[in-house]
């Protein structure tokens, strides 16, 4: 089955995000982790990585990647309440599956926004910590 144009753009953006994160010493452990509940996709995490944070030490990072052609801020606005809910559900499922003690393991949710087009060598990158209640 061939990938859609949207999926190809998303894959390109995720590849650029991985390059950007690795250049900042993130250790990528998994990409495109999906959670299936009762036969339906309940959520997905684009990138899961470990990163040493200044105040918390080795931190498990769940990273959402959004890719857009124009640097207009729309990628940042694309991660809304429902997406965050699915991201949290997926992160909890991953931690259960990997027997990660969430009471003792620092966890952070992040977003990497990629602005550019396939073939560009230096797309614009925006990185954010997603505040979670």
Phi-psi region of 67 (alpha: psi -120 to 50; beta: other; left: phi over 0): beta
pLDDT digits (tens, 9 = 90+) for 30-44: 999 999 989 999 899
Q: Is residue 76 over pLDDT 50?
A: yes
**β partners of residue 67:** 114
pLDDT, tens digit, for every residue of 1-14?
A: 457 877 777 888 99
pTM for this prediction: 0.91
CATH number at 10 reads 3.40.1350.10
Helix (H) or strand (E) holding 57: strand 57-68
Q: Which residues form the domain of 11?
A: 5-129
Count up the domains in the chain and report the number: 1
């Amino acid at each position: 089955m061939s990938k859609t144009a949207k999926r190809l753009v998303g894959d390109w953006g995720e590849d650029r995000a991985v390059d950007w994160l690795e250049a900042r010493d993130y250790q990528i452990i998994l990409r495109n982790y999906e959670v299936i509940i009762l036969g339906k996709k309940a959520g997905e995490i684009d990138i899961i990585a470990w990163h040493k944070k200044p105040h918390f030490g080795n931190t498990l990072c769940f990273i959402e990647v959004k890719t857009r052609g124009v640097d207009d801020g729309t990628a940042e606005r694309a991660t809304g309440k429902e997406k965050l809910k699915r991201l949290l559900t997926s992160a909890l499922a991953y931690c259960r599956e990997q027997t990660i003690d969430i009471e003792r393991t620092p966890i952070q949710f992040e977003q990497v926004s990629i602005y550019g087009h396939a073939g560009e060598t230096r797309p614009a990158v925006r990185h954010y910590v997603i505040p979670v209640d």
